[in-house]
Amino acid sequence: MEQLEEKIKQTIRAVLGVGEDDITLETRLAEDLGADSLDVIEISMELEAVFGISFENDAMEDVVTVKQLMEKTARTIDPTYGMPQVAGT
Q: Which residues are catalytic?
A: 36
Given a contact cutoff of 8 angstroms between Cβ atoms, the answer to whether 36 and 12 are in contact is: no
Reported as half-sphere exposure (CB side, CA atoms, 13 A), residue 35 has a value of 30
Given a contact cutoff of 8 angstroms between Cβ atoms, the answer to whether 53 and 12 are in contact is: no
Task: Using alpha carbons, list the distances in angstroms from residue 59 to 10, 24, 67.
Answer: 20, 21, 14
